[in-house]
A and B are shown apart, each in its own frame.
Chain A
Amino acid sequence: MTPTIQTFTRALLTPDLSFSHLTDARVQLGPEGLPQLMRTTRFVEATVQWQGHRWLLSMPLSPSAIVSVERTASRIGRLNSDWLSSYRILTGEMRWTTPTGEEQHSDLLLEYLPEGLSFEEALRREPTDRLLEALDRLQEALRRLEFAHNNLRPRNLRWVGDRFIPMRYQDARFGHPENDAPFFEDLRAEVLRRSDPMQVSDVTAEYNPLCRLTGHLWTSQLSEGLICVEDESGYGFVDAENRVVIPATLRWANDFHEGRAEAETETGMGLLDRRGQWVIPPVYEIVDYDPVESNVYVRREGLWAEFDYLGRQQSQFGERSARP
C-alpha cells in the first residue's frame, strides 16, 4: 500500500518517530507550521536539513515510482561523479501504520542539495559567457557519463562554484544523452534572453575538485587507500601512487567503503574486497551495499535478498515488499 501525502507530512513533522536514519532531520516549514511540499510527476518532495546539509527528500506516489529510479540511483552511486549529486534510495526509511493497523515501511529518495545558487540567481549574478560555458561543460560531462536527465529545466539546476549541477534525477536514464540537447538549447536561450551587463559575483560556493591522476579517462577520489579509475579497458583501482591494484576490466565500480566495493562486469553486479576477490559474485542485477549496517541487498530477476559482509546469504529472495 502506498502512503499518502498526508502520511508523508506527518512523518516529516515527527521524524524521530517515523524515520530510520533521518531521525533528526528538520523539514522546511511554511508560515502555518506545515511542511512545504512540492509534487513532481511521480514523487512529492520536501527540503530537509540533516547533518548540516540540505537535502531533497522525496516520497513515491505510486508503487512503480521507486522502481523507476532504482537503476539510476544505483548507477549514480557507483559513478561517484562530481557532476551529479548524491542520489540514493533509503530502503524502508519511513515507518507508518496502515488504516488497518499494520506497520509498513516505505522507501524514500534522498538527494543532496548542493550549496549554491538557483538558476535564476545565477542569471542575475554571473556573466553570460560564463553561464554559457558552464552549460557547454555540463552537456559534455553528461554526454561522457551517458547520462540523460530528461527534465533539465532551470529549476533542476544549481550553480555551484563555476558550474551547473543538475538535480532531481527522477526522469533520468543512462544512455541517449542526446535527449537533453533540446533542454540545453532552451537553457542557453534563456541565458541569452536574460543576459545583463556583467556583474561581479559576491557569492562563492565551496567546491572540492576530485583528485586527478594522469593516464585515465576518469578518476574517483582516494578512499581507503584506493582510487577507482576508468580506463579504455574499463573500471579498476589504483593506489595513491597510481599503481594498479585491481586491473581495469570492470564495467563499473564504486569506491571502497569498509573494505568492500560494489562492482559490475558483463555478467552482473557483485561485491569486491580490496584484493579484487569477489565476496559476492557478479551475477546480480543490483547490489546495494550499506557500509554502516554491513549488509548487502541484491536483486535477481526482480527479487531481493540480504547478504552479510562476508557474502553469506541471510534471507531468501522475495518480493519487493519483503525487502527490508
Chain B
Amino acid sequence: MYTQSITRSHRTAFVLLIDGSGSMAEEIRFRGKPMTKAEAVASITNGLLFELIERARRNDGVRDYYDIAVMTYSGNDEVYSLLPDGRKMISVAELAAREAPVRREIIECRMPDGSTALREIPSPAWVSPEAAGQTPMHQALDEACELLAEWCRNPAHAESFPPTVFNITDGEATDCDDDELRAVARRLCSLRTCDGNVLLINIHIAPGDTQQAVFFPSEEEADYPNRYARLLYDCSSQMPEVFNEAIREAKGPGALPPFRGMSYNASAEQLIAMLNIGSISVKTE
C-alpha cells in the first residue's frame, strides 16, 4: 500500500483546500515577519504548487504525473476553484503552462553570525491572499469528496497512488458541528485506489509563536491547548508506514509512529516542511 510510483501512466492527484474566511485576516508571524494568516497560507500554497511543478519538470518538459485542484472556502458559504478559468482540476503540465504572475518576495536569510540579510527575489504566485466571510469547511471537504470520488472511479487511476488533500485552516468550521466534520472527513478518507485510501492532511494555523509547534503528531502530541486540536486530529489521516522514515527524519530520532497527517501552530514555516515532506516522500519517476 502507498507504494505505487507516480508516473504518467499512474498519476495521482493533489487537492489544496484553503480557508479564506474572515478569521484569516488575523496576524501571525511567518518567516520572522508579521503578516496575516491569509498571506502565510498564500505563500505556503504557492510554494507547494511551485514544488509540485518543479518535481514534475524533466528534460522533455513538465510531465503529467498528477492532477491538481486548488479550492478556497470563504464568504457566504462559498467554495470555488482558484485554478485558471475556474476549472476544478487540471494536470500539473497544464498548470505549469499557465504562466503565473511573478511577484517580488522579500526573503530573510540568517547569517552565520546570527544577523539577518534581506533579499528580494522573484516568486511565482498562483494564489493571492483572501480573508472574508464564513468558513464552510464541511462544504469544501464535501466538494473534495465529490471531485475525488469521480477521480478514483476513473479506471485509469485504479492502480494509482491515492490522492492527497491538504486542508489549510485555522480550524473553525461555520457550516457544521464537530461530528459532521468528522463524518465528512471519514467519507473523504474512505475513497481509495488499489494502492490505498485518500490522505487528508490538516494544516492548522493559529497565532502565537510561543506555543509548541506540533508536526505529524503522535497520539500524545495531539493534546495541545487549542479547542480545534482534537477535532482536526480526528479528521486527519494516519500517515502510512511508507512515510514514517521521512517524518522521523524531520521530527528527530525520538519520534515514534504512528503519525497523523496534520500540523499545528503558528510557526508557519513548519507548515512548509510538512507540505514538502508530504510531497517528497512519494516516489516520482
Chain A residues at the B interface, C-beta cutoff of 8 Å: 1-2, 4-6, 9-10, 13-14, 17-18, 32-34, 37-41, 44, 61-63, 95, 97-101, 103, 155
B249 in the interface, Cβ–Cβ < 8 Å?
yes
A18: which B residues are within 8 A, CB to CB?
Answer: 109
Shortest C-beta distance, A306 to chain B (Å), equals 19
A99: which B residues are within 8 A, CB to CB?
Answer: 267-273
Given contacts A4-B51, A6-B272, A44-B55, 13 further A-B contacts (CB under 8 A): A1-B250, A4-B272, A6-B54, A6-B276, A13-B122, A32-B122, A33-B102, A37-B54, A61-B55, A62-B280, A98-B273, A99-B273, A103-B112
B109: which A residues are within 8 A, CB to CB?
Answer: 14, 17-18, 97
Contact B270 A33 (CB under 8 A): no
How long is the Cα–Cα vector from A308 to B59 in the complex, in angstroms? 42
How long is the Cα–Cα vector from A6 to B51 in the complex, in angstroms? 6
A4: which B residues are within 8 A, CB to CB?
Answer: 47, 51, 272, 276, 280
Contact B51 A17 (CB under 8 A): no
A5 with B51, Cβ < 8 A, contacts A13-B121, A99-B267 known: yes
Indicate which residue in B54, B102, B285 contacts A41 across the interface (CB closer than 8 Å). Answer: B285
Q: B121-134 toward A: CB 8 Å interface, digit per residue (1/0)?
A: 11010000000000
A100 with B267, Cβ < 8 A, contacts A4-B272, A10-B107, A14-B121 known: yes
Shortest C-beta distance, B279 to chain A (Å), equals 8
Instruction: Please count how many residues in chain B sit with their CB below 8 Å of the partner chain's CB atoms.
Output: 34
A63: which B residues are within 8 A, CB to CB?
Answer: 249
How long is the Cα–Cα vector from A40 to B269 in the complex, in angstroms? 27
Contact B47 A6 (CB under 8 A): yes
A2 with B280, Cβ < 8 A, contacts A32-B102, A99-B273 known: yes
Contact A97 B107 (CB under 8 A): no
A41: which B residues are within 8 A, CB to CB?
Answer: 285
Contact B58 A100 (CB under 8 A): no
A9: which B residues are within 8 A, CB to CB?
Answer: 50, 54
Shortest C-beta distance, B203 to chain A (Å), equals 12
Contact A34 B122 (CB under 8 A): yes
How long is the Cα–Cα vector from A4 to B280 in the complex, in angstroms? 8
User: Which residue on A lies nearest to B62, using beta carbons?
Assistant: A39
Shortest C-beta distance, B56 to chain A (Å), equals 8
User: Which residue on B lies nearest to A321, using beta carbons?
Assistant: B249
How long is the Cα–Cα vector from A34 to B270 in the complex, in angstroms? 25
User: Which residue on B lies nearest to A7, using beta carbons?
Assistant: B276
A17 with B280, Cβ < 8 A, contacts A37-B57, A98-B273, A155-B59 known: no
B33 in the interface, Cβ–Cβ < 8 Å?
no
B213 in the interface, Cβ–Cβ < 8 Å?
yes
Contact A100 B269 (CB under 8 A): yes
Indicate which residue in A5, A32, A62, A95 contacts B124 across the interface (CB closer than 8 Å). Answer: A32
How long is the Cα–Cα vector from A5 to B107 in the complex, in angstroms? 15
B227 in the interface, Cβ–Cβ < 8 Å?
no
User: Which residue on A lies nearest to B105, using beta carbons?
Assistant: A10
A38 with B58, Cβ < 8 A, contacts A17-B111, A62-B280 known: yes
Q: What are 19 A-B pairs at a CB distance below 8 A?
A: A1-B249, A4-B272, A6-B54, A17-B109, A17-B111, A17-B119, A33-B102, A34-B102, A34-B122, A38-B58, A38-B59, A39-B54, A97-B110, A98-B269, A98-B273, A99-B267, A99-B268, A100-B270, A103-B112
B121: which A residues are within 8 A, CB to CB?
Answer: 10, 13-14
Contact A34 B111 (CB under 8 A): no
A37: which B residues are within 8 A, CB to CB?
Answer: 54, 57
How long is the Cα–Cα vector from A24 to B55 in the complex, in angstroms? 26
Indicate which residue in B55, B102, B112, B270 contacts A39 across the interface (CB closer than 8 Å). Answer: B55
B57: which A residues are within 8 A, CB to CB?
Answer: 37-39
A34: which B residues are within 8 A, CB to CB?
Answer: 102, 122, 124
Contact B119 A1 (CB under 8 A): no
B271: which A residues are within 8 A, CB to CB?
Answer: 99
Shortest C-beta distance, A183 to chain B (Å), equals 16
User: Which residue on B lies nearest to A44, using beta carbons?
Assistant: B54
Shortest C-beta distance, A149 to chain B (Å), equals 16
How long is the Cα–Cα vector from A206 to B160 in the complex, in angstroms? 50
B124: which A residues are within 8 A, CB to CB?
Answer: 32, 34
| Residues of B212-260 contacting chain A, CB below 8 A | 213, 249-250
Top 8 A-B pairs, shortest CB-CB distance: A99-B269, A99-B273, A17-B109, A33-B122, A4-B276, A5-B54, A13-B121, A32-B102
Shortest C-beta distance, B66 to chain A (Å), equals 14
A39: which B residues are within 8 A, CB to CB?
Answer: 54-58
B122: which A residues are within 8 A, CB to CB?
Answer: 13, 32-34
Contact B55 A5 (CB under 8 A): yes
How long is the Cα–Cα vector from A101 to B169 in the complex, in angstroms? 22
Shortest C-beta distance, A58 to chain B (Å), equals 13
Shortest C-beta distance, B179 to chain A (Å), equals 33
Shortest C-beta distance, B16 to chain A (Å), equals 16
Contact A13 B119 (CB under 8 A): yes
A101 with B269, Cβ < 8 A, contacts A14-B121, A34-B122, A41-B285 known: yes
How long is the Cα–Cα vector from A1 to B280 in the complex, in angstroms? 11
User: Which residue on B lies nearest to A61, using beta carbons?
Assistant: B280
Q: Which of A4, A39, A61, A155 has the most CB of B within 10 A?
A: A4
Shortest C-beta distance, A307 to chain B (Å), equals 24
Contact A103 B110 (CB under 8 A): yes
A6 with B50, Cβ < 8 A, contacts A14-B107, A18-B109, A101-B269 known: yes
User: Which residue on B lies nearest to A14, using beta carbons?
Assistant: B119
B47: which A residues are within 8 A, CB to CB?
Answer: 4, 6
How long is the Cα–Cα vector from A113 to B91 in the complex, in angstroms? 33
How long is the Cα–Cα vector from A59 to B107 in the complex, in angstroms? 20
